[in-house]
Every structure is written in C-alpha cells, then in structure tokens.
Amino acid sequence: MKPRSLFAEHALLPTGWARDVLLSWNDQGLITGVKAQATCPEGVTRATGPVVPGMPNLHSHAFQRAFGGLTEYRGAAQDSFWSWRSLMYGFAAAITPEQLEAIATGLYVEMLEAGYTSVCEFHYVHHDPEGRPYADDANLSMCLLRAAARAGMGLTLLPVLYQTSGFGGTPPSVGQRRFIRSTDNMLALLQKLKPLCEAQGARLGLAPHSLRAVPPDSLREALAGLHALDVTAPVHIHIAEQTAEVDACLAWSGQRPVQWLLEHAPVDARWCLVHATHMSAEESTRAARTGAVAGLCPSTEANLGDGIFDAPTWLQANGRWGVGSDSHACVNAAEELMLLEYSQRLATRQRNVLASAAQPSVATSMTLQAVAGGAQASARPVAGLAVGQQADMVVLDAQHPLLRDLPTPEAMLSAHVFASHRQSALQQVWVAGRVQVQSGHHVLHDAALSGLVAARRQLLENTP
C-alpha cells in the first residue's frame, strides 16, 4: 500500500518550524492534514531528518543542460551573453525530439535529486531544424510532458511565443527559425495541449519570450487568447536581463522594458518576470506591487554575466520571488538560494540580506519565500506543507556529518544551504505523496543519466 502520511519531528510549515508534525494526504497526493504537537501513530513512517517543502523550479530550458560546461571559453576578444547565445543557437538548431526527451528526462531526475519537485518549462524550440512544423505540431512539447511523467516531476508547460529578432519587428534570424509561431498558431497549440497537460496534472501557461521577440499587438492578442482558454493561466516573460536589451528598448519606445511592460500589459499575480535584473527603484517598486513574481536564476545570471538583482528594493515593496535553474549551469535548489544571498552580500556588503525580522534565519526565510513565489509562478498547488497543497517534501539527512547533532532544524537547513555539498544532505524527496528519491538516488538515476549522456554525444556530433 502507498503511504498516506509521514511523521516529522521537525517540519517547515508556511508559518515557520513546527514540532512533531503528522502530515497526511489523499489519493491525489494533496495534503489533508498538518497536525503539530502530534504523537506518531503506530505504523506511520518517521522522517529521518527535518522535513522542508519541495522547491518549485520556476524557469527551465531543458535542452540547455546538454551543453553545460561547453561554453566556458573565450571565443572573441570579449565574451558576453550575446556570444553565448550564438553558441546556444547551434545546439538548439541541431537537437532532435528523441534527444530532447532523453535530455529532459535526465535533467528532471537530477532536479529531483537536488530538491526540486516541480518545474516551469519555458519551451521555445517548436519546429524541425528547417523551421517546418512537425507532423504533430505539439511533438516537442509532448517530449517534455513525457519526460516529466517518467521522472515523476511536476510540470508547468509554457510554450513560448517568438516572432521577431529585436524591438520594432525586425525579422527573425535563421538561427531562430525553429522558434517562430504566429499568434493564431500558438493559440491552436495551446488548445491542443490543454487536455494533454490536464491528463497528467501538468499546468499550461504561455511565455511571450521577451519584448524583443514579441511585438505589442501579438502580446495583446496572445494574452487575450490564453486567458479566454484559462483565466488563471500563468504568463512568464524574460525581462530586462541584459543592459543592451534595456538600451534597445529605450531607443525603440523611450521606456525601459519593465516600465514599458507595466504600462502596456495587464501585469498581475499570474505573471512571472524572469530575471528582471535591470530595474530602476521605481520600476521595481511598481512591479512588486502588481503581485507578479520575480523569477530569479542566480547561477545562470552569474554564468551569463547579466548583473545583480536588487533584492532589498524588491523586498521593501513586499515583492514575491522564486528561483529557476534556467540554462542549468547549476542544478540544485539550495545552491540557487546560496548564490542569490551571496550576490546580495557582495553588492551590499551586508550579511543575511534575505532574512527578515519575522524570520531571522536566512535559509529558512529564503526557502519559504522561494517556495511561495515558485508555487505562484507555477500555478500549481505546490506552496508547501499546508492543507490543499501537494505533498511535495524534502527530508534532510540528520545523520549527515554537517547536520548531525546541530541544536535546531534551522541550523540544519542553514548547514544544508551554506555548509554542506548541498545535494549530499538530502535523504528523501517526495512528489505528491510518493517517494521519488531515496538516500539521495532516484530509481531512474542510472537509466536517465545514461540516456542524457548518449543524447548529448549524438547532439555534439551534429553541432558545428
């Protein structure tokens, strides 16, 4: 029989740490009971360490996992986000459906082993290498749906609208031909994908790629079409990641990207502003007040030389945020939290910047904020250990040398985020009340990772 409950001596609830918590859930994996100061009923499993909520990963381009480590050399006098992007386009141009599915399956297994229990897939490679739609226009989306189902990963699928290569409607480049869809064609794809997503508990949304890639009329029509299909569907957009993009937006419209977006689009709590690195204090405050989530991807933002998100200004306006692994230069939920906090320490010359008066332990504070923001951006019930949410849980290894005998569960979570090798201190990962990772290993670990390696080998043979 499948378990329906777990007893935790320490559990991190949305309100903070609680003792002797009996967690129970139903057949669908939704939490039906969270009872603190409980006694462990006979027959119920005791968690072997503190239980924390599973982390939603709010931004992923799965195929990019295949070239991790392969763009870390200087190709021109000066390398940049834009030179990286040309290399990335080479891989995007060559990937096959089979390779995408294998890479995504391997990646999702890695994510589960690293504390992520769901992912928002910002999916823009739609067509064949010549830019022609596949016989089944949803072919590559289906690869991602199957990969998530096989790995046992929660999914929010965000098909990407991509139409232009720059502000003002400049035509797409050859390297972008696999990404391009008309607005009507995108809406037809969404219609088709909606029941397929629902059948596996995945959520469907839309990602206008960026203001560079989607002209104003298309943005308006696509949003209207999406919300006619599902009024609460999530909307994710890359915004203000690079200063060159800010300058180009200013030249085009006289406004900065976030400023333009706030004035021309109905930004609200359904939205996730991915990166949002370069905002003025005024933009930041206004954007935070819409209820939108800032989608922060600390390892990729560092890897690509984007700049540093101004967290203090965002938090001052009660801004919501979550983390994503984006290009997957790093695949580890705790590590993204650590890098985010460290970027703030380097920028402000202070410590524990993302802690608060209410929650002084920075690892605890960040975990709760990132789970809440990630769940909102995912538009799935993955907002932590509370009734009505999915039983997505991570059990820390209380016997890990860095955690053993520490006085409090906060200290153990802090040691996991700041002092351990991060992956090594994870004992179990549960998704919707089912164990997916045991003693740090997913059942599909070997098969899924060999699949990823084989697909990468093929892909590299076919990439110039």
Distance CA 24, CA 5 (A): 4
> Which does residue 459 touch among Zn ion, ligand NGQ, none (CB within 5 to 8 A, set by kind)?
none
Decide: is 303 part of the binding site for ligand NGQ (CB under 6 A): no
Name the minimum Å distance from CB 274 to Zn ion: 6
Q: Cβ closer to ligand NGQ: 304 or 371?
A: 304
Based on the number of CB atoms within 10 Å of its own CB, is 10 exposed (0-12), middle (13-18) or buried (19 or more)?
buried
**By CB under 6 A, what part of segment 204-263 binds ligand NGQ?**
210, 238, 241
Distance CA 453, CA 423 (A): 20
Name the minimum Å distance from CB 402 to ligand NGQ: 32
Single out the residue of 35, 85, 127, 345 in contact with ligand NGQ (rule: CB under 6 A).
85
Decide: is 278 part of the binding site for ligand NGQ (CB under 6 A): no
Q: Which of 61, 123, 209, 275 is catalytic?
A: 275
List the beta bridge partners of residue 56. Answer: 118
Q: Cβ closer to ligand NGQ: 121 or 397?
A: 121
Tell me the site size for ligand NGQ, rule CB under 6 A.
Answer: 9
Q: Cβ closer to ligand NGQ: 71 or 259?
A: 71
Name the minimum Å distance from CB 180 to ligand NGQ: 13
**By CB under 5 A, what part of segment 262-291 binds Zn ion?**
none
Tell me the site size for Zn ion, rule CB under 5 A.
Answer: 1
Q: Cβ closer to ligand NGQ: 51 or 111?
A: 111
Q: Which of 326, 328, 392, 400 is catalytic?
A: 326
Q: Cβ closer to ligand NGQ: 166 or 225?
A: 166
Q: Cβ closer to Zn ion: 49 or 322?
A: 322
> Which does residue 428 touch among Zn ion, ligand NGQ, none (CB within 5 to 8 A, set by kind)?
none
- Can 421 be counted among the known catalytic residues? no
Report the Cα 216 to chain-centroid distance in Å.
26
> Which does residue 392 touch among ligand NGQ, Zn ion, none (CB within 5 to 8 A, set by kind)?
none
List the beta bridge partners of residue 208. Answer: 161
Name the minimum Å distance from CB 356 to ligand NGQ: 29
CB closest to ligand NGQ, residue no: 61
Decide: is 156 part of the binding site for ligand NGQ (CB under 6 A): no
Q: Cβ closer to ligand NGQ: 260 or 430?
A: 260
Stretches 19-27, 318-326, 330-338, 395-403: which one binds Zn ion (CB under 5 A)? 318-326
CA-based nearest residue to 341, from 317, 321, 327: 321
**By CB under 5 A, what part of segment 323-342 binds Zn ion?**
326
> Which does residue 85 touch among Zn ion, ligand NGQ, none (CB within 5 to 8 A, set by kind)?
ligand NGQ
3-state secondary structure the chain: CCCCEEEEEEEEECCEEEEEEEEEECCCCEEEEEECCCCCCCCCCECCCCEEECEEEEEECHHHHHHCCCCCCCCCCCCCHHHHHHHHHHHHHHCCHHHHHHHHHHHHHHHHHCCEEEEEEEECCCCCCCCCCCCCCCHHHHHHHHHHHHHCCEEEEEEEECCCCECCCECCCHHHCCCCCCHHHHHHHHHHHHHHHHHCCCEECEEECCCCCCCHHHHHHHHHHHHHHCCCCCEEEEECCCHHHHHHHHHHHCCCHHHHHHHHCCCCCCEEEEECCCCCHHHHHHHHHCCCEEEECHHHHHHCCCCCCCHHHHHHCCCEEEECCECCCCCCHHHHHHHHHHHHHHHHCCCCCCCCCCCCCHHHHHHHHHHHHHHHHHCCCCCCCCCCCECCEEEECCCCCCCCCCCCHHHHHHHHHHHCCCHHHEEEEEECCEEEEECCEECCHHHHHHHHHHHHHHHHHCCC
Single out the residue of 101, 283, 326, 397 in contact with ligand NGQ (rule: CB under 6 A).
326
Name the minimum Å distance from CB 71 to ligand NGQ: 12
- Can 230 be counted among the known catalytic residues? no
CA-based nearest residue to 444, from 122, 50, 146, 6: 146
Tokens of 349: 């010359």
Name the minimum Å distance from CB 141 to ligand NGQ: 16
Decide: is 61 part of the binding site for ligand NGQ (CB under 6 A): yes
Name the minimum Å distance from CB 88 to ligand NGQ: 6
Decide: is 300 part of the binding site for ligand NGQ (CB under 6 A): yes
Q: Cβ closer to ligand NGQ: 178 or 238?
A: 238
Name the minimum Å distance from CB 13 to ligand NGQ: 33
**Catalytic residue positions, numbered:** 275, 326
Positions touching Zn ion (CB under 5 A) are 326
> For binding to ligand NGQ (CB under 6 A), which residues are involved?
61, 85, 210, 238, 241, 300, 304, 326-327
